[in-house]
Amino acid sequence: MLSPADLIDLAESFAKRIPDGDAYLEERNTSWLAIGNGWLKIGDADQAVHALARLDHLRCQAKLRHAICLWVERHPDSKSAREILLSTTSEIDSWEDSLNRREIGELVGPVYSVSGLQRAIEFVDKLGGPFTAATALVRLAKLISDPNSRRMALEAAEHRAACVAGGDRDYALRWVLQGFRGAGLEADAERVWNSMNDKLENTDRTIQSADAVLEQAKQFLPEVPTDTPFARLQRFVDYKFNDLKVEFLTDTAVTGGVDHPEIEQVLHGDAFLRVEEPRAPSLEGDPSVLDEESFANFLFNRPVVKHPSDQELLDGSDCFEIDWVDRAGFIDRAATLFEGFAAVGSRFSMEQIEQGLWCLLGWRFSLPDLLWTTPVPVPVQQRCLRAMLVPFRDYYASIAEEYSGSSFFMWWDLILSGRRNTECTPANEGVVMDVLEDILTLPGDACHGAALHGLNHLHPNQRAAEIVKKYLNQHRVRLSPQQLQWIESCQLGEAL
């Protein structure tokens, strides 16, 4: 039997062996962040503060400070946690950029609960952003029992919200509006309503409709495979990520410890205790700064997800999110990746290639959106588009029969979807059609299907229709009725 404290002690022992240096920066910090949160959840703030001292990444420090501050609201007798609350909120200008608006707003409750109304107001006064200050004051107003003080807090929130620039002003005022309504101050709520430029009703209806559609769609989602702690542990060992091993220990501690001989045997075994090579950087980061080899590793050198619940853990920590400054650089890196895809394809499994391509072309980096909406020189765009021939020619054409993924078939659907709401120059469309025409000359129906699918999405471009018609005429004698029907629908822009 391993108690919760035993498990977190084991996690600390492992984390202390993760090497210093930039290569292990993410794993080292996410490990100690998990350890700090683990100690908090089993009620030991002193040990959480010791874990805080181990962190050397600002965002991770801020997240653990935030967690300690929320914890002290429920446990105000903890001296060490109160000290973290005091230092964090009195020096909020040092932490504000490392916390999001919600996290900053949540600090109001602990400050008010532990230190009183005046200290809470002083905390809000230190906040640099008027939107954040406005929402924090609305949160504070909900906690205040005295009607006059509550009104004063909401009026101060209204003043801050009115100073918010651009379209965010109405969103800030909506917080204030809801605050006045929640306090039963309908006349004040009406004043705020009248001061808003956009009542956001259409946005609300759109969000409600989207929520309803998502709720209905849940019934069609595949059932999540059942999971067990032992199966999860085995996957985490196979993934070979140091911080996931720590994550397993802290998560298991929070759920009450371990009384499972097989799990205990694995936890004390060489495979679990071995410190692995550094993991690929978080997918929340900015890969435009990476060199050619590192960029390929960033996308493809990742274990294939074995259970849906592991996805976010394998993607990496949101502590390492970076605001991109070089979107054109990312497009350039992608072009270089495509140009050398023969070598890339030989280094990684087909499952890793599939996973990485969806990350690049679809959710996460959305290369099509960057390609069509980012203001970069046309030659940079066209180089990237032309380079997209190479993955089909030097990789997919030779392995398509074994390849079970859909990224290549959907490639041009994704690329061309990015231009639907933009002004795509005729020259760029011409480059796309040149590439698709070249793909149609490659061997294999899989490559042809991907190209025809792309030409379908260029409708009503006349040249695209003519390319499809030419292909149809050249291959008609060998095509099945179903294939003929689908290709004819591509010519009309009606294929899915």
Give pLDDT tens digits along the chain (496 positions): 899 999 999 999 999 999 999 999 999 999 999 999 999 999 999 999 999 999 999 999 999 999 999 999 999 999 999 999 999 999 999 999 999 999 999 999 999 999 999 999 999 999 989 999 999 999 999 999 999 999 999 999 999 999 999 889 999 999 999 999 999 999 999 999 999 987 665 555 554 555 555 465 555 556 667 899 999 999 999 999 999 999 999 999 999 999 999 999 999 999 999 999 998 888 887 888 888 999 999 999 999 999 999 999 998 887 877 666 688 889 999 999 999 999 999 999 999 999 999 999 998 889 998 888 778 888 999 999 999 999 999 999 999 999 999 999 999 999 988 665 455 677 788 999 999 999 999 999 999 999 999 999 999 999 999 999 999 999 999 999 999 999 999 999 998 7
Dihedral of alpha carbons 204, 207, 209, 211, sign? negative
Backbone dihedral angles phi then psi of residue 258, each to the nearest 5 degrees? -125, 130
What is the reported pLDDT for 426?
A: 73
Which part of the chain is CATH 1.25.40? 4-220
Residue found under tokens 């006059």:
148
Backbone dihedral angles phi then psi of residue 403, each to the nearest 5 degrees? -80, 120
> Which tokens is 397 given?
């054409």
For the whole model, what pTM was predicted?
0.84
Return the amino acid letter for 93: D
368 close to 414: Cβ distance less than 8 angstroms: yes
**How many Å apart are CA 16 and CA 31, to the nearest integer?**
10
| Measured CA angle at 307 (ends 306, 308), to 5 deg | 130
Sequence-separated (6 or more) residues with CB below 8 Å from residue 189: 177, 180, 181
Buried b (16+ CB within 10 A) or exposed e, 394-407: bbbbeebeebeeeb
**How many Å apart are CA 423 and CA 243, to the nearest integer?**
44
Give the residue from 147, 148, 80, 89 showing the smallest Cα distance to 113: 89
Give the residue from 453, 457, 425 showing the smallest Cα distance to 439: 453
Fold of the domain spanning 4-220: 1.25.40
What is the reported pLDDT for 218?
A: 53
C-alpha of 220 from chain center: 24
What is the reported pLDDT for 207?
A: 47
Q: Which segments of 43-178 are extended strands (E)?
A: none
> Which tokens is 77 given?
């007798």
